[in-house]
Structure 1
Amino acid sequence: MTRKRTAILISGRGSNMSALIAAAMAPDFPARIDLVISNRPGAAGLERAQAADIETAVVDHKAFETREAFEAEVQALLEARDIELLCLAGFMRILTDGFIATWLDRMINIHPSLLPMFKGLDTHQRALDAGVRLAGCTVHVVRPEMDTGPIIAQAAVPVLPGDTAETLGKRVLAAEHRLYPHALALYVTGKARVSGERIVFHEVEADGEGSLMSPTLITREQADA
Structure 2
Amino acid sequence: MKKFAVFASGNGSNFEAIVTRLKEENWDASAALLVCDKPQAKVIERAEAFHIPSFAFEPKSYENKAAFEQAIIEQLRLHEVELIVLAGYMRLIGDTLLQAYGGKIINIHPSLLPAFPGIDAVGQAFRAGVKVAGITVHYVDEGMDTGPIIAQKAIEIDEHDTLETIEQRIHKLEHKWYPSVIKQLLGLNNRGEKA
Instruction: Judge same fold: TM > 0.5, yes or no.
Output: yes
Verify: 1:76 aligned to 2:81, yes or no: no
Amino acid at match of 2:61: A
Give me the whole-angstrom Cα distance separating, in 1, the residues matched to 2:158 and 2:63.
45
Check whether the contact 1:30–1:189 (CA below 8 A) recurs between aligned residues.
Answer: no
Deviations 1:20-63 (A, max 9, x none): 11111146424310111111011101101111111112111121
User: 1:22 aligned to 20, 23, 33, which one?
Assistant: 20
Partner secondary structure for residue 176 of structure 1: helix
Give secondary structure in 1 for the equivalent of 2:178.
helix
Asked which structure has the greater CA Rg, the reply is 1
- Which residue type is aligned with residue 169 of structure 1? E
Q: Which has the higher contact order (CA 8 A, sep 6+)?
A: 2
Per the alignment, residue 184 of structure 2 pairs with: 186
In the alignment, structure 1 segments of 5+ residues that lack a partner are: 192-216, 218-225
Q: How does 1:129-168 map to 2 (within 5 A)?
A: 129-168=127-166
Q: Which amino acid aligns with 1:180?
A: Y
1:124 maps onto 2:151 in alignment? no
Does the 8 A contact of 1:125 with 1:164 survive in 2? no
Structure 1: 4+ residue segments shifted above 3 A: none
Instruction: Using the TM superposition, give the Cα deviation of residue 190 of structure 1 relative to its aligned residue in structure 2, in angstroms.
Output: 7.8
Aligned length: 191
Distance verdict in 2 for CA 1:74–1:28, change over 3 Å = same
Unaligned runs of 5+ in 2: 191-195
Instruction: Give the secondary structure class of the aligned counterpart of 2:46.
Output: helix
Q: Give the corresponding residue for 2:103.
A: 105
Alpha-carbon deviations, 1:83-130, whole Å to 9, x = none?
111101100111212321211111111000011111001111211222
| C-alpha separation in 1, matches of 2:160 and 2:181 | 31
Over aligned residue pairs, what C-alpha RMSD do you find?
A: 1.8
Question: Aligned partners of 2:83 and 2:139: how far apart in 1?
Answer: 11
